[in-house]
A and B are shown apart, each in its own frame.
Chain A
Amino acid sequence: MPRVLTANIDANQPPPDRSAYERRGGYAALRDTLRTLSPADVQARVKDSGLRGRGGAGFPTGQKWSFVPMGPAAPRPKYLVVNADEMEPGTFKDRLLMEGDPHQLVEGTILSAYAIEADVAYIFLRWAYRLAAERLERAIAEAYDAHYLGPHILGSGYSLELHLHVSAGRYMCGEETGLLNALEGKRGNPRAKPPFPALSGLWGKPTVVNNVETLCNVPHILSKGVDWFKQASLTGEGGTKLYGASGRVKRPGLWELPLGTPMREILDDHAGGMRDGVQFRGVLPGGASTDFLVGDHLDVAMDFASMQKAGSRLGTGTMIVLDDRTCPVGMVRNLEEFFAQESCGWCTPCWSGLHWAADMLRDLEEGRGEAADLDRLAAQARLLAPGHTYCALAPGAAEPLQSALKYFRDDFERHVREHRCPWQ
């Protein structure tokens, strides 16, 4: 199995320093690119590669970059912001990349910043990732020493400042506009779009926000080529993906696999199947804010299109597995309480609707549920739709709720009927 993003990562070793990273071919993409490619060329290659954002929404990266005003007339400074505020429950893939190979992210950041002619880049890091902060800080300093950062990088006409910002942190700051507000020192509330950050982003200037894993792909696309990237996946969407699994599987973990690897393969071959004595009941395929899938879906390829067709989303590609010894209502309650707690308090459907949904789920769990609550919960899930709310938090929260009501309806009804949680 070809490992690309994790090729340099050995969990038992410290991450490669600059010279080790360079020995393994690191920063070659940067050297070649600055010498031979224009920003437009870089944009074109990433666009052609079909790279889609690995942070959850899956927006095509090259297309996102293409919205940024280019050339001498563009407003300055322009910003590239690395979204390293990894807080999706069950998701820990960016952490591995940052702790295991920080220079790869630094190189990807410089190349992507070059593609949009950014003047300044920030890595917006989740506060709890202390080891990542330490390692990134060292990598950035080493990159400055080697003139990979700062004025006239490697003697080229391109200059970039890169700052690590360790955030105060909330789930909401992982949403790109919430992140920008937080980076500006404001409340981490989202912003309405339009205007999109590419036009009015950080401090009102053109800004691109990309996920860690997304940016880590960029050096490899540039060094190995668009065709290589496309062939690296099983289903044509391009590249590899860090897949994770948590829950009662035998070997919870994280694996770099070709994009489009079927769910069953990941769960059985890599996670070792379910623990003894428990049965698989369902899975949140891409983090807490994706719809449940069940046994019928196990052979679906884990890529953007297939997951959507199956009624869920690839999201972050890190699965949370539900087993038959765990109460699905309790699991959804746990999730909705998390989302309700993380609501920034800006738009009504989110701050009130999620609170109410969590409240009803608590009632069900504690034996106070009413039959009508199921319809009310379904109504909440339906009303918290994209566009109805200010950002994607509440619609994301609605996904596990609506799918749980669909696939585990009996369990909900038992809670009402028996006035208790049957698993307790």
Chain B
Amino acid sequence: MARIFIDGRPCDVRDGINLLDACLSLGYDLPYFCWHPAMGSVGACRQCAVKQFRDEHDTRGRLVMACMTAAADTTRLSIDDPEAREFRTSVGEWLMVHHPHDCPVCDEGGECHLQDMTVMDNHTYRRYRGTKRTFRNQDLGPFVNQEMNRCIQCYRCVRFYRDYAGGRDFDVQFLRDRVFFGRHRDGVLESPFSGNLVEVCPTGVFTDKTLKRHFTRKWDERTAPSVCVHCAVGCNTVPGERYLRLRRIRARFNHDVNGYFLCDRGRYGYEFVNDVRRLRAPRVGRGPDQRDATAADAVERAAPSLAAGRAIGIGSPRASIEANFALRSLVGAGRFFSGASEADHQLAALILQILRTGPVPTASLHDVEQADAVFVLGEDVANTAPMLALALRQSVRRQPMAIADRLHIPEWDDAAVREAVQDAKGPLFIATPIATHLDDAATAAVRGAPDDLARLGFAVARAIEASAPVSGSAGPGEARDHAGTIAGTLREAARPLIVSGTGCGSRAMIEAAANVAWALHRAGRPARLALIAPECNSLGVALADAGGLDAAFDAIDRGTADTIVVLENDLYRRAAPAAVRRVLDRAAHVIAIDHLATATTAAADVVLPAGTFAESDGTLVSYEGRAQRFFQVFPPDGEVRESWRWIRDLLAAAGRTDAAAWQTLDDITAALASALPAFAAVAGVAPPATFRIAGLKVAREPHRYSGRTAKYAGVTVHEPKPPDDPDSALSFTMEGYTGQPPSALIPRFWSPGWNSVQSVNTYQTEVGGPLRGGDPGVRLVEPPAGSSPAYFKDVPPPFERRAGQWLCVPLHHIFGSEELSALAPGVASLAPQPYVALNPDDLASAGVEAGSEATVTIGDDTFRLAVRAAPSVPAGIAGIAAGLPSHPWLPLPALGRIRRGEGAR
């Protein structure tokens, strides 16, 4: 602790911080632009000037920039000093010299940090008479809009894009008052974190291009705390709605998880909620006879088949725990299946087994950022868990920070730290089948077939701890050489981290990763594990004790069941099309509950329209084992309702009395907690619906929400009764508490004078630190005490290529491989066309050329794919883009044959 004096008042602050951090953490309003809590200080904008005094006898003092001055013990400063105030006002005036007076037509207006700061520094009147400089703007792709005339040259964008996120195609150009931030020419921003420019830009230079197409002001958005559904990381989000359309997604700060940022899949995937492919009404009848029906008709039609007790339930890793649990209750524990592909189901179960029986805890994203040595085994995290890749980029800064320490450069002094550190990076070893976007941050990147990489993992574990199983002698020479280095580095680290996942579809890979982590644990090292599951609730469904898809299909094939209830799931994305078709045909009744029209809903007799994440409440379990609650942003329109409510109605219609008790989400979470001990803590994820602050619910609409009496005037002049929300402590209207609620209920960040996202400062215990009362989410899986499970021993044999055959491995794409986000137009525009990637040296033996078409045969399925030459693909391996909506499901990894496509020259 250091004691500093602010305008004479003694204040105790943490050691090692700067004065700006100290002032903001203490609740003082001190304006700033270029500083960002996640990116540190550079002293460019000069907005946070304060007067510093040598001692109590110094009456003159001197102006210093608070962000560039250490809050050392006995520091005396004044925020109120007239000279400091005058200077801060001048900075406001200087910044406004070129800034257009276009707030009314600027997308940032109303949530603009520049507006807030201009008010805060009391710059009120423009005295500059000259012309303002203007720029030609660039088209930066589907996500980010650029309006450079508004730029105040704070350099945050370029510091985020390049220094923080490792992007290369965006930079600062030119100089003086004409500095330009952009690309060398128009074009899509390459970084998958480009959307964060919208939030780091303090004004309207970079704004959300998807929002622009259906714009609404921040104060007119109804918002609720939510969780991203587009991968297993579980980033916290704030979706905003108006007129029953989802308008955009912003990051919801969570110190343990995503911090201030989101990836572009998470930020821009939301438009599936507004998509024309949404199911809006129940439908009954099969095939071409399918037609809209009332809810009562649909439920009534489904009831007899359910009452007979011959139904199975296929759940979904993209649906909430509550919805999956409701389905499990409907069909019975032994007749509930996870809904993942059989392979993913097995891998998720394996991950859960590792986390539940092993001694090594999972790593939150915050833990990942703090890791000082990392081994990524088999997982292309930049595409399967992008925010984890961003966290890994921060992890490589940990070890080199010692260089700055030796020079007494504080960690927040960002430019000086980066100068001292130069290109030094902490250890990050990446072993993946083909090159990843994170490789530029890696100490070493190893390529190989999945089995060979798993063997590398086993070898690393063995090199760390002698009782780990031997991986045998063979293996790629390059990989073998690395095993000793990787093992030594991990052993020496203070916070080693092992990352793997289901991306390769390899059981051995995950087992090898577990062995490495467990070997470190046995060697006395505090290791952590991050095992990436495929979807937002894969781990939650695994915790719900579900069966696999093969068993589900088997039940239909053998006739032990004749009815399938499919929850938020398109089975055609989970298994071979022929098998799905057979099972759906064979089942006497198919009841599909989903928010999207899919091939599965088309084959159902009864289709019930479900709410998306934005119209439902529920809980998701991230790769970390963190249960997080998402809340309805807006009440479902028309016949759309939450999946669990449909299932509750089906239960009731089928004559089940236990369902009558499920009136609210809290009822079902209580039932879940008592039925499945793994979820005992789930009720504590967020306050219950009965929670009140001073008798009030928390308002989803801001207190400045406009048009509530007018917006339906075209339909009715009577103001409708506000919809009830029996499921949460949030109200759907502006009636309610607008202060700071418990962290799990924060619907948006706002505080007086802080209308921009920077207001998050006021919600934190200290700037950049955890939210007051703790960050939301409850970890459901922790290592058991004294656990010491046996190592995994099934070391796979080395990969040997077979003549005429290719090992086809899945290649994931941040844009395109995930089902829901791929429906968003912006994401879809960046998704690749289906392709097969081969090593250039393998093209000839496959008889194909780059750019031509190849015919690929896997099992009984044959299809045509464009051929790409990718030098990083190992010989004998074919990488096939996975999960693209335009391509049927494939059982990857699998052996396949490749020949010249008929259409090829």
User: From B173, which residue of chain A is reached at the shortest CB distance?
Assistant: A187
Contact pattern, B 397-424, Cβ under 8 Å of A = 1, otherwise 0:
0000001000111000101100111100
Interface membership of B62, Cβ < 8 A:
yes
| Complex: A195 Cα to B43 Cα, angstroms | 14
Verify B177–A363 contact, CB threshold 8 A.
no
Verify B175–A343 contact, CB threshold 8 A.
yes
Most buried by B among A347, A387, A389: A347
Verify A345–B420 contact, CB threshold 8 A.
no
Interface membership of B172, Cβ < 8 A:
yes
Contact partner of B43 (CB less than 8 A), chosen from A199, A204, A354, A390, is A390
Chain A residue numbers with a CB within 8 Å of B678 are none
Verify A352–B94 contact, CB threshold 8 A.
yes
Interface membership of B493, Cβ < 8 A:
no
Smallest Cβ distance from A389 to chain B, in angstroms? 7
Interface membership of A356, Cβ < 8 A:
yes
Chain A residue numbers with a CB within 8 Å of B94 are 348-349, 352-353, 356
User: From B419, which residue of chain A is reached at the shortest CB distance?
Assistant: A204
Residues of B447-493 contacting chain A, CB below 8 A: none
* Stretch of B123-131, B273-281, B293-301 at the chain-chain interface: B123-131
Verify A352–B177 contact, CB threshold 8 A.
yes
Interface membership of B668, Cβ < 8 A:
no
Contact pattern, B 28-70, Cβ under 8 Å of A = 1, otherwise 0:
0000000000000011111101000000000000111000100
Smallest Cβ distance from B876 to chain A, in angstroms? 41
Smallest Cβ distance from A186 to chain B, in angstroms? 9
Interface membership of A321, Cβ < 8 A:
no
Interface membership of A341, Cβ < 8 A:
yes
Interface membership of A98, Cβ < 8 A:
no
Interface membership of B155, Cβ < 8 A:
yes
Contact partner of B90 (CB less than 8 A), chosen from A347, A349, A355, is A349
Residues of A384-401 contacting chain B, CB below 8 A: 385, 387-390
Verify A342–B176 contact, CB threshold 8 A.
yes
Smallest Cβ distance from B573 to chain A, in angstroms? 47
| Complex: A62 Cα to B177 Cα, angstroms | 38
Contact partner of A356 (CB less than 8 A), chosen from B130, B155, B178, is B130
User: From A346, which residue of chain B is reached at the shortest CB distance?
Assistant: B44
The answer to whether A352 and B416 touch (CB under 8 A), given A199-B407, A200-B409, A363-B129, is: no
Interface membership of B91, Cβ < 8 A:
yes
Verify B176–A341 contact, CB threshold 8 A.
yes
Smallest Cβ distance from B132 to chain A, in angstroms? 10
Interface membership of A376, Cβ < 8 A:
yes
| Complex: A304 Cα to B615 Cα, angstroms | 74
Interface membership of A11, Cβ < 8 A:
no
Verify A195–B64 contact, CB threshold 8 A.
no
User: From A188, which residue of chain B is reached at the shortest CB distance?
Assistant: B175
Chain A residue numbers with a CB within 8 Å of B176 are 340-345, 351, 354-355
Verify B419–A345 contact, CB threshold 8 A.
no
Verify B409–A349 contact, CB threshold 8 A.
no
Interface membership of A87, Cβ < 8 A:
no
Verify A351–B68 contact, CB threshold 8 A.
no
Verify A346–B155 contact, CB threshold 8 A.
yes
Chain A residue numbers with a CB within 8 Å of B408 are 195
| Complex: A344 Cα to B129 Cα, angstroms | 23
| Complex: A343 Cα to B97 Cα, angstroms | 16
| Complex: A348 Cα to B42 Cα, angstroms | 12
Verify B130–A345 contact, CB threshold 8 A.
no
Smallest Cβ distance from A161 to chain B, in angstroms? 19
Verify A203–B422 contact, CB threshold 8 A.
yes
Contact pattern, A 187-202, Cβ under 8 Å of B = 1, otherwise 0:
1000110110001100
Verify A192–B415 contact, CB threshold 8 A.
yes
Chain B residue numbers with a CB within 8 Å of A354 are 176
Interface membership of A383, Cβ < 8 A:
yes
Interface membership of B153, Cβ < 8 A:
yes
Chain A residue numbers with a CB within 8 Å of B174 are 345
Chain A residue numbers with a CB within 8 Å of B44 are 346-348, 390
Chain B residue numbers with a CB within 8 Å of A379 are 90
Interface membership of B587, Cβ < 8 A:
no
Smallest Cβ distance from B905 to chain A, in angstroms? 45
Chain B residue numbers with a CB within 8 Å of A17 are none
Smallest Cβ distance from B299 to chain A, in angstroms? 64
| Complex: A194 Cα to B409 Cα, angstroms | 8
The answer to whether A347 and B46 touch (CB under 8 A), given A204-B422, A356-B94, A383-B90, is: yes
Contact pattern, A 351-381, Cβ under 8 Å of B = 1, otherwise 0:
1111110010001000010001000100100
Verify B416–A389 contact, CB threshold 8 A.
no
Chain A residue numbers with a CB within 8 Å of B91 are 348-349
Chain A residue numbers with a CB within 8 Å of B407 are 195, 199-200
Smallest Cβ distance from B311 to chain A, in angstroms? 66
| Complex: A69 Cα to B14 Cα, angstroms | 31
Task: State how many residues of chain A have any CB contact under 8 Å with chain B.
Answer: 38
Smallest Cβ distance from B430 to chain A, in angstroms? 26
Chain A residue numbers with a CB within 8 Å of B178 are 345
Task: State how many residues of chain B have any CB contact under 8 Å with chain A.
Answer: 44
Chain A residue numbers with a CB within 8 Å of B328 are none
Verify A388–B87 contact, CB threshold 8 A.
yes
Most buried by B among A203, A346, A368: A346
User: From A192, which residue of chain B is reached at the shortest CB distance?
Assistant: B43
Verify B413–A356 contact, CB threshold 8 A.
no
| Complex: A354 Cα to B62 Cα, angstroms | 22
Verify A191–B415 contact, CB threshold 8 A.
yes
Chain B residue numbers with a CB within 8 Å of A347 are 43-46
| Complex: A348 Cα to B175 Cα, angstroms | 12
User: From B178, which residue of chain A is reached at the shortest CB distance?
Assistant: A345
| Complex: A351 Cα to B422 Cα, angstroms | 27
| Complex: A84 Cα to B175 Cα, angstroms | 22
User: From A341, which residue of chain B is reached at the shortest CB distance?
Assistant: B176
Interface membership of B588, Cβ < 8 A:
no
Smallest Cβ distance from A374 to chain B, in angstroms? 13
Residues of A181-223 contacting chain B, CB below 8 A: 187, 191-192, 194-195, 199-200, 203-204
Smallest Cβ distance from A316 to chain B, in angstroms? 23
Verify A352–B409 contact, CB threshold 8 A.
no
Chain B residue numbers with a CB within 8 Å of A342 are 176
Verify B63–A387 contact, CB threshold 8 A.
yes
Chain A residue numbers with a CB within 8 Å of B62 are 387
| Complex: A342 Cα to B175 Cα, angstroms | 8
| Complex: A342 Cα to B176 Cα, angstroms | 7
Verify A383–B87 contact, CB threshold 8 A.
yes
Verify A359–B87 contact, CB threshold 8 A.
no
Verify A204–B153 contact, CB threshold 8 A.
no
Smallest Cβ distance from A381 to chain B, in angstroms? 12
| Complex: A345 Cα to B128 Cα, angstroms | 19
Interface membership of B673, Cβ < 8 A:
no
Verify A352–B97 contact, CB threshold 8 A.
yes
User: From A370, which residue of chain B is reached at the shortest CB distance?
Assistant: B129
Interface membership of B179, Cβ < 8 A:
yes
Residues of B127-143 contacting chain A, CB below 8 A: 127-130
Smallest Cβ distance from B720 to chain A, in angstroms? 49
| Complex: A385 Cα to B422 Cα, angstroms | 31
Interface membership of B113, Cβ < 8 A:
no
Smallest Cβ distance from B604 to chain A, in angstroms? 60
Verify B415–A359 contact, CB threshold 8 A.
no
28 A-B residue pairs with Cβ-Cβ distance under 8 Å, sorted by A, are A191-B416, A191-B419, A192-B413, A195-B407, A195-B409, A199-B407, A200-B407, A204-B422, A340-B176, A342-B176, A345-B172, A345-B176, A345-B178, A346-B155, A347-B44, A348-B44, A348-B46, A349-B90, A351-B179, A359-B129, A363-B130, A379-B90, A383-B87, A387-B62, A387-B63, A388-B46, A388-B87, A390-B43
Q: A195-B407, A200-B416 are in contact. List 14 more A-B contacts (CB 8 A).
A: A187-B175, A191-B416, A192-B42, A194-B409, A195-B419, A204-B422, A343-B177, A348-B153, A349-B91, A349-B94, A352-B97, A356-B97, A372-B127, A388-B46
B→A interface (CB under 8 Å): 42-47, 49, 62-64, 68, 86-87, 90-91, 94-95, 97-98, 127-130, 152-153, 155, 172, 174-179, 403, 407-409, 413, 415-416, 419-422
Closest 9 CB pairs of A and B: A352-B94, A345-B179, A359-B130, A343-B176, A204-B420, A345-B175, A355-B177, A200-B420, A351-B177
